[in-house]
Chains A and B, each alone.
Chain A
Amino acid sequence: MAGSEHGVGGLKYDTSRKSWPPELNVLLALVLIVAAFEILGRLIMGDSFLLNTRADLDSLFNEQRLQIIILQVSIVGIIAIGVTQVIISGGIDLSSGSVVGATAMIAMSFAQVAMVNGNPNPKAIFLEQGWVDLPVIVPVLVGLGCGLAAGLINGLLIAYTRIPPFIATLGMMVAARGMSRWWSKGNPISFPTESYAEIGKGMMPVVIFVALAILFQLILTYTKYGKHCYAIGSNEEASRTTGIKVEHHKVLVYVIAGMLASVAAIVLSSKNLTAQAGMGMMYELDAIAMAVIGGVSLSGGRGSIIGTVLGALIFGVIISGFTFLQLDAYYQEMVKGVIIVGAVVLDQWRQRRRSLKG
């Protein structure tokens, strides 16, 4: 394309001035935050944050810390992938944390072993029915089914009753939490089968997170589904007039978000070898925060999975950094709050500047 061509009305464009992708800003923020912890670490703790300082280990980085950083955000990160596509298409999902709780309880009860140390498993929920020692596919499908059901209800409510996504998913948030408490009358469910415990073992959460992130980055960029997410989030009315089936699309968006929450639940309960009614509490807000920090615009139409992954890493670095500096968890929460609000302010500011430029 020739850069010298004039626009309509003689408006000139500088085509050489490519727009700076917002993901680069997030990456920059990540680097700055890491640098800040590195400097603070050297000053306060006399130790490096990310670099290896142990003489007995032959590696450049503190690999253990790197692993922890990514491991502790990967489960919420899986939820954040789903939340990202919801926000891009102009919605919000507050129910994902509770869906994690409910799914973990229900899936776990289908993953019970019959015998623990030679004695019958005291907490096996379907012991009488004989639904114990089931192949791993059963709890996984049941779990995914829970996420699908929750997402379907969210999506149908939002698309066809036209209630705001905030309200619909708030209702689901409360209801699904109630469900997870009711399921075993508040008792935790433990003792999963060997094969179920394999799902979230070691670095498996990271592998699953990264694989899903790549898959959804590709879906959002190269498929009709992705294009319609951006279109609906950008201008729902226009999408409708041009013939996009907005209602169908919205149902699908929330179904996918619900199913990703249930994937997170399966991985989490498998990793912890137990499911509790309070599992996943506040995960929805962390997931939304990761997306927002990653440059996903709350007004819809803009953002990417790459951004959300970077947002998740910023999250992990901050938590890890505070632990490293031996600061109380209270400060973590406060700083997290400040960062979330800061990211939204930045997004608003970016938007204003853009519309002024237009």
Chain B
Amino acid sequence: MSDIILKTEGLTKHYGGVHALEDANFELRMGEHVAIMGDNGAGKSTFVRQITGVEIPTRGKIVFGGREVSFTSPLDAREAGIEAVFQNLALADDLDVPSNLFLGREKIRFNLGPFSILDRRAMRDATRKALEKTAVKIPNLSSTIRNMSGGQRQCVAIARTATFPSKLVIMDEPTAALGVQETAQVENIIRNMKAAGEPLILISHNMRQVFDLADRIVVFRRGRIAANLRKSETSGEEVVAYITGAKTDASMSDAA
């Protein structure tokens, strides 16, 4: 029990009449890398939005780090130690790298409420450290996101998760828009995290990548968790069968 970092029970999200996520029971252990797969609209991103506080679940329980949590804002989740790289990256195009890394959590030199003076040097230094830690090379920290390639943007978003002490990192399709070389770089960052024992939830459509990086594969289908497979005990064909619904698992209604 103690090595379970994240556990959801009966997690459900309805948007009006649309049942985007239904009764999701999910577990993640310390140091484990789990891939979430599924068709578009299967509920993967909805699931992530519930556990990162972006949305508030209709029903269900989230247990994080041994205690039940109910996040009311993304900041709650981040403060609890859940860092996410969203599909849309959540970067402000007109700001530079340090500003983006510390967006919403700026380092303050002088507290004056909303008019607090920023500690720009500390943010720059921390940015450099985070980029080193993730082995991301951004030549000019003061250039804006607008002037960066897709891969660089992705790396900035990932470096953001490394800027703050976190217990769990979630990446939503981190390589979907990247070229071969850039994808390799992101995958390297993920391998380094595995070596460091940091748990990860990875949403991906890329079968090769999932089998390369994950210990376990959870398949979502039509808002429900359709399968929970150890990488060593499954195959690409089987995963695809679960994604398309060609194969179903009768026991999945309670365990995941």
Indicate the size class of the contact surface on chain B. Answer: 35 or more
> Are A13 and B139 touching (Cβ within 8 A)?
yes
CB-nearest residue of chain B relative to A3?
Answer: B139
| CB < 8 Å neighbour of A235 from B93, B155, B181 | B93
CB-nearest residue of chain B relative to A235?
Answer: B92
Q: Select the stretch in B10-18, B100-108, B229-237 that faces chain A.
A: B100-108
> Are A243 and B78 touching (Cβ within 8 A)?
yes
> Are B146 and A354 touching (Cβ within 8 A)?
yes
| A295 close to B (CB within 8 Å) | no
With both chains docked as a complex, state the minimum distance between the C-beta of A250 and any C-beta of chain B, in angstroms.
Answer: 12
In the complex, what distance in Å separates the CA atom of A231 from the CA atom of B136? 23
Interface 0/1 of A224-250, CB less than 8 Å to B = 110110110111011111111000110
In the complex, what distance in Å separates the CA atom of A171 from the CA atom of B67? 49
Interface 0/1 of B79-115, CB less than 8 Å to A = 0000000101111111100010001111010001011
| A333 close to B (CB within 8 Å) | no
| CB < 8 Å neighbour of B118 from A8, A227, A238 | A227
> Are B103 and A7 touching (Cβ within 8 A)?
no
Count, chain A residues at interface, CB 8 A: 42
> Are B91 and A15 touching (Cβ within 8 A)?
no
**Contacts A224-B115, A241-B74; A358 near B148 (Cβ below 8 A):** yes
Q: Known pairs A235-B90, A238-B89, A241-B90. 17 more at Cβ < 8 A?
A: A1-B140, A3-B139, A7-B138, A9-B152, A11-B149, A15-B139, A15-B140, A19-B143, A222-B117, A223-B116, A225-B114, A225-B116, A237-B88, A238-B88, A242-B103, A243-B104, A301-B93
Query: Footprint of B on A, CB under 8 Å?
Result: 1-3, 5-11, 13, 15, 19, 219, 222-225, 227-228, 230-231, 233-235, 237-244, 248-249, 252, 301-302, 354-355, 357-358
Query: Footprint of A on B, CB under 8 Å?
Result: 54, 73-75, 78, 86, 88-95, 99, 103-106, 108, 112, 114-118, 120, 136-141, 143, 146-149, 151-152, 155, 179, 181-182, 185
